[in-house]
Amino acid sequence: MAGKSKVAICWLGGCGGCDEAVVDINEVILRVVEAFDIVLWPVAFDFKYDHIERMDDGAITLSVINGNVRNADQEEMAKLLRRKSQLVLAFGACACFGGTPGLANLRTKKDIFDWVYRDAPTVVNPEKNYPKTKVSSNGAVLTLPEFYEQVYPLNQIIDVDYYLPGCPPPPDLIVNAFMAVLEGKLPPKGSTLAPHKALCDTCERNKTKPSRIAIRDIKRIHEVEAQSNTCFLAQGILCMGPATRTGCGETCININIPCRGCFGPVEGVKDAGAKYISALASIIDAEEEKDVKRILDKVNDEVGYLYRFSVPASILRKRRVSEVEEQ
Amino acid sequence: MKHYEPKLVCFSCKFGWGYLADEDELHHRIKNWVPIICSGKIDAIHVLEAFKQGADGVLILGCPEGDCHYQDGNYEARKRVYLVQKILGAYGIEPERLRIELAVDPEGKTIPQMVKDMSDAVAKLGPVKKVKERARTAAMAHR
């Protein structure tokens, strides 16, 4: 046992789908278990955090961390695993870019608490109780982790060695990542363990793309019957393919759903949404201001579309609020 | 609100703006002036990065409609601006902080006034709110 490399798999602010994805590598997981000692995997095994705390610093070879950091508990866990691990892999869109929960960065903590604990139609809270970090009851002190003002991708909290994006990451790339660690064939620190190109470069439908796409009317996927073998953009349906890293295996495209961008920006790009703006603007076939507005106003919730998985990792990161609003 | 001097970034296309002027002198009169070749060169990333780095407003000067040296760079810029304005709004940055004008002024005499006009409009909005960044603490030391 002692000679085996140790791996920890941990779930912070995410939906659990990434843990599920690890299980989805099927029988390969037996090879992983053969090669590694799993020292932590809350979703699957009953390990205690103080076991990790008692380990020597750097004793864990690899920590696979999925989910973003939204509260003090998640931050503590991320920092503990960083201290105990030689390598940290940010696993999944939430760990890499903040993920869908990162859209909450367009609201303040106060907005969120007011809605969840006061204003939502299903809430019954006559005593107006809000979560507190500390509360005394009959002499006992109860604590809750602090809920932060914003969502953080993992690399804004701890140093991250490698990234594996996706919602969730696909099995082939997960296996590659584990094998790369086992065989010591890792790319330079900071790399994303996925191809560098854009999704359009590997998309089957690229062949059907006309030499110049000209969108005169933007359609939403549920409003039309999308052709199953034609480029979505050529059909006027927004697809994040041009600005999104490939490697997902085109799973959405294969079921006739346009790319939503869960693999994040292509190599060398920081803000996929901004790049997509440039790509989209150039294929809108209009010059007059009123025509441009008519076409683009059909996009419902631009920021939600362009930054569905990446608000916390985008250039602006979070909504600016005045101090009055913040109180 | 107390008056303050907003930080403005002005991008202008060299084909239409100030190409006959003494560039050094204009640079002296216009803070953060970035003459570029074609307004279509300005990516959404440049605009967002300007706001990230503390700009309170961004002014883009492109060539008149139908007069782009590269056919449609100015139209592309205008379409991008419209999209970026929507994004800025969602991030709590007033869309009026980004403006594009398509016209021509080879001597660039009107640029300082345009920058001033926009600066006055932005001054009324006040500074862009800063997002408080958390200090990267002890864990970052472990490398």
**pLDDT tens by residue, B57-114:** 999 999 999 999 999 999 999 999 999 999 999 999 999 999 999 999 999 999 999 9
A57 contacts on B by Cβ (under 8 Å): 142
CB count within 10 Å of CB A217 equals 9
Find out whether A276 and A243 touch, Cβ atoms under 8 Å: yes
Asked whether residue B38 is domain-assigned, the answer is: yes
Beta-carbon separation of A315 and B130 below 8 A: no
- Predicted confidence band of residue B4 (pLDDT cuts 50, 70, 90): confident
Beta-carbon separation of B139 and A159 below 8 A: yes
**What is the dotted CATH code of the domain comprising A5-100+150-183?**
3.40.50.700
pLDDT of the residue at A112: 95
A69 contacts on B by Cβ (under 8 Å): none
pLDDT of the residue at A214: 94
Classify residue B62 by its DSSP letter.
Answer: E
- Suggest the residue from B70, B82, B143 to mutate for an interface test with chain A (most A CBs closer than 10 A): B82
Find out whether B73 and B39 touch, Cβ atoms under 8 Å: yes
d(Cα A198, Cα A241) in Å, to the nearest integer?
Answer: 7
Beta-carbon separation of B80 and A149 below 8 A: no
pLDDT of the residue at A322: 65
CB count within 10 Å of CB A123 equals 10
End-to-end CA distance of chain B: 46
Mean pLDDT for B49-55 is 94
Beta-carbon separation of B43 and A274 below 8 A: yes
- Kindly report the backbone phi and psi dihedral angles of residue B42, in degrees, each rounded to the nearest multiple of 5, phi listed first: -80, 115
Mean pLDDT for B44-59 is 95
A278 contacts on B by Cβ (under 8 Å): 43-45, 80
Q: What is the pLDDT of residues A204-242, one digit of tens each?
A: 999 999 999 999 999 999 999 999 999 999 999 999 999
- Helix residue spans in chain B (DSSP H): 23-29, 44-52, 73-90, 111-125, 138-141
pLDDT of the residue at A46: 86
CB count within 10 Å of CB B138 equals 11
CATH 3.40.50.700: which residues of chain A?
5-100+150-183
- Kindly report the backbone phi and psi dihedral angles of residue A124, in degrees, each rounded to the nearest multiple of 5, phi listed first: -120, 110
CA dihedral A210, A216, A221, A226 (to 10 degrees): -40
pLDDT of the residue at A2: 56
Which amino acid makes up residue B35?
A: P
A178's CB contacts (< 8 A; 6+ apart) are A28, A32, A35, A36
- Suggest the residue from B45, B81, B100, B136 to mutate for an interface test with chain A (most A CBs closer than 10 A): B45
Asked whether residue B91 is domain-assigned, the answer is: yes
Q: State the Cα angle at A11 between A8 and A129, rounded to 5°.
A: 145
Strand A60-66 to A69-71 pairing: unpaired
Tokens read off for B108: 């660039």
- In DSSP notation, A117-134 reads IIISTT---TT-----SE
Please count the structural domains in chain B: 1
pLDDT of the residue at A325: 52
pLDDT of the residue at B135: 44
pLDDT of the residue at B136: 43
Give the residue carrying structure tokens 């990792």. A313
d(Cα A137, Cα B48) in Å, to the nearest integer?
Answer: 49
Using alpha carbons, list the distances in angstroms from residue B142 to A5, A58, A79, A186, B100: 20, 10, 10, 20, 46
pLDDT of the residue at A274: 95
Tokens read off for A151: 């969502």
Beta-carbon separation of A275 and B45 below 8 A: yes
**Is residue B33 predicted with pLDDT exceeding 90?**
yes
Q: Chain B: give the shortest CA distance to residue A268, in Å.
A: 13
d(Cα A94, Cα A152) in Å, to the nearest integer?
Answer: 9
CB pairs under 8 A between A and B: 106
d(Cα A271, Cα A265) in Å, to the nearest integer?
Answer: 6
Range of the domain at B85: 8-129
- In DSSP notation, A138-191 reads TTEEEE-PPEEEEEE-GGGTS---EEE-SSS--HHHHHHHHHHHHHT---STT-
Helix-strand-coil split of chain B, %, nearest 5: 40, 15, 40
Beta-carbon separation of B92 and A296 below 8 A: no
CATH number of the domain enclosing B23: 3.40.50
Helix B44-52 to helix A272-283 angle, to the nearest 10 degrees? 140
Q: Chain B: give the shortest CA distance to residue A278, in Å.
A: 6
B83 contacts on A by Cβ (under 8 Å): 277, 280-281, 296, 302
- Predicted confidence band of residue B130 (pLDDT cuts 50, 70, 90): confident
Max CA separation in chain B (angstroms): 57
User: Which of A296, A315, A318 is nearest residue B49 as measured by Cβ atoms?
Assistant: A315
Residue ranges in chain A modelled with pLDDT below 70: 1-2, 322-327
**Is residue B117 predicted with pLDDT exceeding 50?**
yes
The predicted complex's ipTM stands at 0.90
